[in-house]
């Protein structure tokens, strides 16, 4: 199996979901609110700047003149893509001042930070995998839109976007990227292939980049992945008759007294469950650096940081507000409603955590130079 085929198979579930996303369906049917597309175009314009940087680093990383020329060529090819964006920004009357003042969203920053980091840290092959996940996904989405609704190419507003990414010229560029990736990775070992899959899926799913984005803005931050989410992912495909015993064995991992005991418990879990559920233990090990952060802290602090449930509860209350009124005339009207909702939500935050004094004292020990007086 070629490298490109392997990468596509590894991310098939994610890619299939693309075509059912409300944003994509809105473009397909011509029903997407213009304000949402305006925001996307401006964010994507910012994204393409870092996308070009990734190709530029690829030029420096290339081991042959041919590969260097390929990366350089695609920097120029993006000028055509930028022209489409500039055309839409003209339709939306976006000013240069707006573009200069625009900040990348957290999702945008997560993606580009990870992609650029891959370019700097990895080889020419990994750079190709990182850029291909974006380039080829746009082709797949646009062609699926045309297959589902052929007349979409003539949409008076979204037609330019659809025709650009569904064109034979755009597809021909992706063929060259794919063939180059397959050629340069023909000698790769199984371990190297798995690493490529991680990069490709991370760039496709845009989740792994979240930690990178945090580290880019707050370099001293310690990352703790949500244990509850890890448990949900671990138990997703577990048989009902096994779930109780399996979760009890996982509890021995995340509730261990220290990291050494947790790793011993994870080894025990592997011995018992790997044959039946071979992906669970490796998932914990792959994410261990961000799953085990809380073991360095006392129990009171652990209970505070092991899950994102608190912030998710807050976000859930905000979603209730935005769902009740799904259309907003301007961005400012949405921000105003969210502000008022937050003010209402925080009125209920009158209680004080019972063990806060202990937690505060413990945090002061770990972060003495960063804790306010």
Would you state the pLDDT for residue 88? 87
**Where along the chain do its domains lie?**
3-217, 227-305, 309-366
Would you state the pLDDT for residue 205? 44
Would you state the pLDDT for residue 372? 62
Q: Are 216 and 143 in contact (CB under 8 A)?
A: no
Q: Are 176 and 54 in contact (CB under 8 A)?
A: no
Would you state the pLDDT for residue 212? 58
**207 phi/psi in degrees, rounded to 5:** -110, -45
| pTM summary value | 0.54
Mean pLDDT by 10 residues, the chain (373 residues): 84 78 91 90 86 89 91 79 82 85 78 81 88 88 94 93 91 91 89 74 50 58 82 86 93 92 94 92 86 87 80 81 77 84 81 78 75 62
**Looking at beta carbons, which pairs linking 28-34 to residues 24 or more positions away fall under 8 Å?**
28/145, 28/148, 28/149, 28/152, 29/149, 29/152, 30/152, 30/155, 30/157, 30/158, 32/158, 33/327, 34/92, 34/157
Q: Are 152 and 158 in contact (CB under 8 A)?
A: yes
CATH of domain 3-217: 1.20.910.10
Give the DSSP letter of residue 153: G
Per 3-state DSSP, the chain is made up of helix, strand and coil in percentages (nearest 5) of 75, 0, 25
């Amino acid at each position: 199996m070629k490298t490109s085929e392997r990468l596509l198979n590894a991310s098939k579930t994610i890619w299939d979901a693309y075509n059912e996303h409300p944003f994509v369906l809105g473009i397909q049917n011509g029903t997407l609110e213009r304000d949402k597309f305006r925001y996307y175009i401006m964010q994507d314009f910012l994204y393409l700047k870092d996308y070009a940087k990734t190709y530029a680093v690829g030029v420096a990383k290339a081991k042959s003149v041919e590969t260097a020329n390929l990366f350089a060529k695609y920097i120029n090819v993006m000028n055509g893509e930028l022209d489409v964006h500039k055309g839409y920004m003209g339709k939306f009357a976006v000013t240069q001042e707006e573009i200069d003042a625009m900040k990348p969203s957290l999702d945008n920053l997560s993606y580009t930070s990870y992609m650029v980091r891959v370019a700097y840290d990895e080889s020419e092959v990994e750079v190709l995998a990182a850029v291909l996940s974006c380039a080829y996904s746009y082709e797949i989405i646009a062609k699926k839109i045309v297959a589902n609704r052929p007349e979409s190419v003539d949409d008076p507003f979204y037609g330019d976007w659809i025709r650009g990414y569904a064109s034979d010229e755009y597809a021909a560029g992706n063929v060259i990227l794919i063939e180059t990736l397959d050629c340069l990775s023909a000698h790769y070992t199984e371990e190297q292939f798995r690493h490529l899959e991680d990069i490709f899926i991370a760039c496709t799913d845009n989740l792994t980049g979240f930690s990178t984005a945090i580290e880019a803005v707050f370099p001293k931050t310690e990352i703790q992945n949500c244990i509850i989410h890890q448990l949900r992912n671990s138990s997703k495909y577990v048989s009902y008759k096994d779930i109780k015993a399996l979760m009890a064995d996982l509890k021995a991992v995340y509730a261990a007294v220290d990291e050494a005991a947790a790793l011993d418990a994870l080894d025990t879990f592997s011995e018992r469950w790997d044959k039946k559920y071979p992906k669970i233990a490796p998932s914990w090990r792959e994410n261990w650096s961000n799953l085990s952060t809380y073991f360095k802290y006392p129990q009171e602090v652990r209970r505070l940081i092991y899950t994102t449930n608190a912030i998710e509860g807050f976000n859930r209350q905000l979603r209730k507000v935005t769902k009740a009124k799904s259309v907003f005339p301007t961005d400012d009207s949405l921000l105003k409603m969210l502000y008022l909702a937050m003010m209402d939500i925080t009125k209920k935050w009158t209680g004080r955590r019972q063990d806060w004094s202990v937690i505060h004292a413990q945090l002061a020990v770990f972060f003495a130079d960063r804790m306010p007086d």
